[in-house]
Amino acid sequence: MRQSGPILAGLCATLVGVGLQRFAYAPLLPAMVQAEWLSAGGAGALAAANFTGYLAGAALAPTVGRALGLRRALRTAIVLAAGCFALCAWPGGLVWFLPWRTLAGIAGGVLMVLAGPAVQSAVAPGSRGLAAGVMFAGVGLGIAAAATIVPALLPVGLPAAWLTLAAVASALAVLSWPRWPDVPSPRRMRLPRLRGGPTGRLVAAYALGGVAATPHMGWWPDFIARGLGQGTGAGSAYWLLYGVAAACGPALCGRIADRTGVARAYFAGTVAQAVAVALPLASQQVPALVLSTALAGATTVGLTALALSRAFELAGAAMPGIWRISTVGWAAAQTATGFVLAWLYTATGSHLPLFAVGLVAALAAVVLARP
């Protein structure tokens, strides 16, 4: 199979498993509350269930891969994610939605952990950086869809919006079906020691990057709209720019890695992320906000692509296990940070302390990622 096939399959996996299932459904939640499909508290519980499922899927992914075979596990996960969209088109209340959003999160975690190593194993060493970049562009495409396509569907009705997402995810599942590489299932193995050494520093830096990314991922549109008083239209416009940058950033980061080396590219990415988080603290003028948005979007997903390539470079055959630890660590760090930032905003009434927390984490990641 040519290299483009596995890369395209990986792009479909991140677009469905993370881009759509996490980001494209987020604009639907307020509409679901307004339509009395859910209460406000139920909407929060649904989001928590989805992320809990993602953590569980990431942790269990190697076991699923061994039980079903890698190719079958990936196909099952992407079909499951598409089916969960369709099941959410019926207004059955919180009890109905919880299992489907949890299963969608599990599918996303499995896809995130298994797809990357599968694609990396199927491409030539000199193309692994670009391959990872193109694959993770799917996350950014999902964010861009959240800012454009989903709001346009809401006037048609919630069932139509959910079913459209299901149709798009199903089409991507069909597109990826014959393109998954025939690589061995992940073997049960003892992981290398992570204390000290470049592999341990990578895992720690990647988790800190998750902390640094949280202020933009969770609060940026609200910061623009309410914090700066620019309104929801401006918040949506900046979020669209964030999604476009997230779609383009991974491929750019991957190309840079193929030319300069993954370690140097990853270090440069952490520096760029630190600049993105520092800019709102230094200035709230339009140029600073635009640059912060672009850098944050590009590095949030770009660093994921670079971390995958760096893990393969450092760990070799043990990379799937390292990538699982990295993915779970990133997700857990971001989940914990989300609660901390919510408390901090409630206590201070300001968005700026949130970016200060992100900056501290970003600077620590820069130190750990230094070649």
**Amino acid making up residue 241:** L
Q: Which of the four pLDDT bands, split at 50, 70 and 90, describes residue 45?
A: confident
Q: Which amino acid is at 322?
A: I
Q: Residue 307: enclosing H or E segment and its boundaries?
A: helix 286-315
> d(Cα 178, Cα 175) in Å, to the nearest integer?
7
Judge contact between 19 and 138, C-beta under 8 A: yes
- Report the pLDDT value the prediction gives residue 369, as an integer from 0 to 100: 94
pLDDT at 17: 92
Q: Which domains does the chain have, with CATH numbers?
A: 1-127+138-178 (1.20.1250.20), 191-371 (1.20.1250.20)
pLDDT at position 194? 56
- Residue 133 pLDDT more than 80? no
Per-residue burial over 271-296, b = 16 or more CB atoms within 10 Å of its CB, e = otherwise? bbbbbbbbbbeeebeeeebeebbbbb
For the ranges 127-131, 227-231, 250-254, 344-348, which has the lowest average pLDDT? 127-131
Q: How far is CA 111 from the centre of its chain?
A: 11
**Best-predicted range by mean pLDDT among 147-156, 234-243, 291-300, 331-340?**
291-300
- Residue 317 C-beta-side C-alpha neighbours within 13 Å: 6
Are the CB atoms for 179 and 8 separated by under 8 Å? Answer: yes
Reported as a pLDDT band with limits 50, 70 and 90, residue 142 is confident
At 1 the pLDDT is: 47
Q: What is the pLDDT of residues 161-190, one digit of tens each?
A: 999 999 999 999 999 999 998 777 666 555
Q: What is the mean pLDDT of residues 13-18?
A: 93
The confidence score (pLDDT) of residue 153 equals 87
Structure tokens at 114: 């298994």
Mean pLDDT of the region 75-95: 95
Q: Is the pLDDT of residue 193 over 80?
A: no
pTM for the model = 0.79
In whole angstroms, how far apart are CA 71 and each of 6, 60, 226? 11, 16, 46
Backbone CA torsion sign across 110, 114, 119, 125: positive
- What is the DSSP code string of 79-111? HHHHHHHHHTTS---HHHHHHHHHHHHHHHHHH
* Number of continuous H segments (helices) and E segments (strands) in the chain: 13, 0
Q: What pLDDT is attached to residue 287?
A: 96
Rounded to 10 deg, the angle between the 286-315 and 197-222 helix axes is: 150
In 3D space, the residue among 110, 79, 111, 84 whose CA is nearest the CA of residue 98 turns out to be 84
Provide, rounded to the nearest whole percent, the portion of the chain with pLDDT above 70.
Answer: 94
